[in-house]
Amino acid sequence: MADHQIPQQLLADCHHLGQLETSAVLLNRNAALPWFILVPQTPLGDFLDLPDAQRQQVLGECASVSAFIKQELGFDKVNFAGLGNVVSAMHLHIIGRRVGDACWPQPVWGNLPEGETYTAEQVRDWQGRLASATGLVPATR
């Protein structure tokens, strides 16, 4: 949907990589962990409130990003959550984890150290690889 708005707080914290069929795909700027955020095109605030068909479609998109994290980026664990306590618009977190990562074994919330950010080259690389792996339509910069 062209009129779907991504919350400004998410855009401030993330790179906008592009669009899947029903969700915008963002990448947290902190490069300590591959932390993707999907923003489904819906006015609803909670994932479990989505109609069955849309919920399955969004879940499929989350699974494709999870597979990318595991198969393309080499992470063996993925954390998946939809919180919405700070940003009320529905958004789903898909985060690559591994033993010994910057937060292990704690959750990323409140434990992610300030870290380096992704280079423009790395963002473009992951954007292109996601396009090949998931059908992402890259955002224009």
Tell me how far apart the alpha carbons of residues 9 and 4 are, in angstroms, rounded to a whole number.
15
pLDDT in tens, 104-126: 999 999 999 998 999 999 999 99
Mean pLDDT of the residues in the chain: 94
Residue 38 has pLDDT above 50, yes or no: yes
Tell me how far apart the alpha carbons of residues 38 and 105 are, in angstroms, rounded to a whole number.
24
User: 72 by DSSP, 3-state: which?
Assistant: coil
Confidence of residue 85 (pLDDT cuts 50, 70, 90): confident
Confidence of residue 103 (pLDDT cuts 50, 70, 90): very high
The full set of domains in the chain, from first to last, is 8-133 (3.30.428.10)
Quick one: DSSP state of residue 10? H
